[in-house]
Structure formats: C-alpha cells, structure tokens
Amino acid sequence: MSDARSGLGGAAQPAPGWLAARLPLAAWYRAVWLDHQVPENLPFACSFGAMVGVALAVLTLSGIWLGLAYVPTPGGAALSMVEYARTVPFGWLMVDLHRDGATMLFIVVYWALFHGIYHAAYRNRRELAWVIEIVRFAAFLVVGFYGFAMTGGPDAQAAMLAMAAHVATVPVIGVSAAQDFLGGDGLGPTSVAHMTMAHVAIGFLVLLIAALGYAAVRVAPPQPGPLVPRAAYAPQLFGAFLLFALIFGLIITVDPGLGYPVAPVLPDALAVPLQSVPPWYLLVFHGFARAGLTPGGGAFLTILALVLVGALPWLDRGEGSAVGARPVYAGFVVVLALDVAVLAIAAAAPAGGVWSAVVDLATIWFFIHFLVVTPLVTMFERPRAATTMGVA
C-alpha cells in the first residue's frame, strides 16, 4: 500500500497552501470524518450524530443572535421576543430556528436513543460512550426546560415553581439549590436572569459533553465485519440531511405547536395556572413527576429513569444485537417505545380521571422494563446467529 500522502501510482500530492499548513482543517476533516473506518453495513440511522451536530450548531448560533435582543425579566422576556419577531427583518425566522431547532434536536435524540437501545449500541466496549450519551441527554432536558421557562408565560411560571419544589426535595443541597433556581426573589427579575445564565452555560456544556461522547465512540473498537471509509456512504448521509432539512422546514412552515409558544400570554404573579404543560420533549418526565404524586417522588422517579437507561450495559445480561439475534427482547423494546409515547400523551392531558391512571400504568411499565424485563429476558433468551450492526 502506498504512503497515505501519495496519490495514484505513488505520486506525491501537492504541498498544502499557506493557510492549510498552519490551520489544517481540511486534513482534520478528512482524517476524522471522510477516512474514518465504519462497518460495511452502516445503516441510514447512523447519521444521527451528524444531525445532532447540525441541530446544536443551529441552536447555538440562533441562541447567540437572539440573546442580543432578549430581556431577562418576567415581562420583558415575552415582549422582547415578540417585538424581535415582528419588527426585525427575518426576526421571525431566527425565533423559529431556535424554537423549532430544539424540536428537531429532540426528534433526532429520542430516535437515536431508542435506536441505540434496540441495536444494543452499548456493546463492544462502548459502555462509557453510552453513559456519556445519557448524560448529554439529561443536559439537553435541562437546557430545554430552561429555554421553556425563559419564555416568560404563565405555563413557564408554573413550571418554574414546580421545578423548584422538586429540586428542594434533594437531600442536603436541595433547599439552597431551589433558592438559587428561583434567583432568591421568587418570580422576580433575578430568577429569569439566573435561568438565562444557566441556559447559556449548560448549553455550552452540552457541546463539551458531545465532544467527549464522540471521542469515546472513536476509541471503541468497531463492530465486527468488513470496514470501509465513511466517504463511501456520502449518498446515505446526504439523504439523511435532506430528510432532516425537509422535516425542519415543515416544522417551521406548518408550526404544529411542538415547541414553546412564540407569543405567550404575559405572566401574572397572582394567577398561576393549575397545570403547566411543557413542550412535547419534556412530557415523558412531566409524566414521571405526576406519577410521583409528591415533588420528592417525582424527582426520584425522574433521576431513577435516567440512571436506569444509563445502566443498560450492565442490566442487559445477554450477548449480540437485538436485531434478528434477540427477537423477544427486540419486541419488548418496541413495547417500551409505545409505552413512552402513551406516557407523553397522557401527561399532556388534564390531571385526574382516566388519564392519571394511564400515566401511572405507563410509568410502572417503564420501570418494570428496565428492572425486570431487561435482566430476565436478556439472561434467558439464547441469541440467534450473530448479526452485525454498525454504529458510528
């Protein structure tokens, strides 16, 4: 094999230019992306990482731009964004990019999460990469909640009070953390300013966590089977990004109400809604909070759910991939996905009646899946012939 710096026939490639020699971005991109070895049967879904990166870039850039006009006060938060969307040229587009960018990010993240569970992506020395991914997911949830609370509407006001009650139940540090969460002045200007700083700080922390997760995946050994450069899958990656762009465009154009409202009703300290309904990507954990009955119970269930998902490499006692090799467990994973969808729908419904029972039953099954079904089924199900599945 000829030297990597040689072209066809061993001829030396031209020397890099002045900028490329001092800032070798093109060489870095080729080394870490185009020439990176991936399994020959790389599925379409393995472009998740790139799509998450694009969504994070959109959110970061649009968030920095909106931050120049955002007023971090209970009344000014809503008015500043409404005024920005109506008076600044293409301001509405920047607001939609940030709001609906969060929707698109969570669509990809939830899809990637269940894809990883279904395909046992935590196998083959990828345990640390999986744990980092769950930590990143938890950080996404925190940033998403702060973004919702920063809209300044009545629902955001009620959600902020409920979250402070949950945080206060954490032993030792809960009360002081809840006071910091509310800024020390209830629902005054300091609370929104604190949320703004936390939203920005954790948002940039997410970028660091994502980089750590990418590094952990890169050092893990590849899945068994033939390997090819990632550049061989350029058409698949292009198709994934085209689908990403089309869905993103539809969300912005149609606006099905998946994100937080653009023009929320201004808050009133004397009129807090009885029930706050967060954006769809927080509904599952809103359901855990409702099933917990008390703030302490809701906080415990939420933390336990994230811990159990992160502990899948150790809860899964079997071998092989869930696709083809373990059809029984694969079926239970599909049931888990349906259970989570039902839990989100029920959590958005008014409290009381049959929907509260649905929330409780869906929550119970969620924990049964991880604490009972996963260890027992994976322990006793004998895998079929090994099925390789690339995860990049």
What digits encode the pLDDT tens for the residues 148-175? Answer: 877 766 777 777 777 777 777 777 777 7
* Number of neighbours of residue 144 by Cβ within 10 angstroms: 22
* pLDDT, tens digit (0-9, with 9 covering 90-100), for 170-206: 777 777 767 666 554 444 545 666 677 777 777 778 8
Which of 194, 190, 48, 202 lies closest to 119 in space, CA to CA? 48
* pLDDT, tens digit (0-9, with 9 covering 90-100), for 360-374: 999 999 999 999 999
For residue 231, what pLDDT is reported?
67
For residue 304, what pLDDT is reported?
93
Mean pLDDT of 205-233: 70
Highest mean pLDDT among 73-87, 119-133, 367-381: 367-381
Instruction: Note the Cα 97 to chain centre separation in Å.
Output: 17
Buried b (16+ CB within 10 A) or exposed e, 348-369: ebeeeeebbebbbebbebbeeb
Confidence class for position 359, pLDDT limits 50, 70, 90:
very high
For residue 9, what pLDDT is reported?
45
* Mean pLDDT lowest among 177-181, 243-247, 286-290, 374-378: 177-181
Q: What are the extents of the domains in the chain?
A: 36-259+273-278, 279-382
Does residue 313 carry a pLDDT above 60? yes
Confidence class for position 343, pLDDT limits 50, 70, 90:
very high
Does residue 214 carry a pLDDT above 60? yes
For residue 266, what pLDDT is reported?
55
Helix (H) or strand (E) holding 39: strand 37-39
Does residue 387 carry a pLDDT above 60? no
For residue 40, what pLDDT is reported?
63
- Beta strands 37-39 and 227-229: pairing type? antiparallel
Percent share of the chain, pLDDT over 90: 14
What gap in Å lies between CA 133 and CA 189, rounded to an integer? 34
What gap in Å lies between CA 235 and CA 242, rounded to an integer? 10
Which of 71, 5, 9, 54 lies closest to 240 in space, CA to CA? 54
For residue 391, what pLDDT is reported?
42
For residue 320, what pLDDT is reported?
62
Helix (H) or strand (E) holding 136: helix 127-149
What gap in Å lies between CA 146 and CA 144, rounded to an integer? 5
Q: Quote the mean pLDDT of the chain.
A: 76
- pTM (whole model) above 0.75: yes
CATH 1.20.810.10 for domain 36-259+273-278, yes or no, is: yes
Mean pLDDT of 95-115: 86
* Mean pLDDT lowest among 99-103, 121-125, 299-303: 121-125
